[in-house]
Copies of this chain bind each other. A is one copy, B any other.
Amino acid sequence: MTAEFAYPRRVEFAETDAFGIVHFASMFCYMEEAEHSLWHAAGLTLAGRHGPHGWPRVSATFSFRNPLHYPDDFIVQVRLEASGRSSLRYAFDVVRGDTLIGTGTMITVCVRRDSGTMIPVEVPPGVMEKLRAVLDRDGS
């Protein structure tokens, strides 16, 4: 059984490009949306206006296997691959039915917003537990 969260989405027309496919940069937005949807399902807010923390991205990757088109329905599957003292590493599969569109990764780090810096701080207590609870519940 894989602990994962499924984020369903439809391609919007604005996300396509003149090759007639989804522009590759949109994949990074899809991964971020899936991450935020996971947090929301866990009762957490990743980037609230008044919260003390921010979660800037440290790195992101995506590898394509097949193109997406408008108006495809697809799913972004999120897994939490690793967690450090101040960072989280996610893995993503983007699928349309049985077709793998591609796979990606993203590392985010927790910082204090009021400090005006990007110095990592510890992941707030409870965050990992709440995320894992959703991933375990929804996994297959």
Residue-wise interface mask of A (51-85) relative to B, using a CB-CB cutoff of 8 A (1 in contact, 0 not): 00010111111111011011100000000000000
Contact B18 A17 (CB under 8 A): yes
Residue-wise interface mask of A (7-20) relative to B, using a CB-CB cutoff of 8 A (1 in contact, 0 not): 00000111011111
Chain B residue with Cβ nearest A103: B59
Residue-wise interface mask of A (93-124) relative to B, using a CB-CB cutoff of 8 A (1 in contact, 0 not): 00000000000000000000100001000000
A90 at interface, CB cutoff 8 A: no
Size of interface on A: residues with Cβ below 8 Å to B:
41
Complex Cα spacing A125 to B39, Å: 45
A-B contact pairs, 8 of them (CB 8 A): A18-B18, A19-B54, A25-B28, A40-B71, A45-B71, A57-B64, A58-B64, A67-B118
For A47, the chain B residues whose CB sits under 8 A away are 13, 18-19, 70-71
A88 to chain B, nearest CB (A): 15
A62 touches which of B23, B40, B60, B71 (Cβ 8 Å):
B60
**Residue of A36, A60, A67 most packed against chain B (CB within 10 A):** A60
For A60, the chain B residues whose CB sits under 8 A away are 24, 61-62
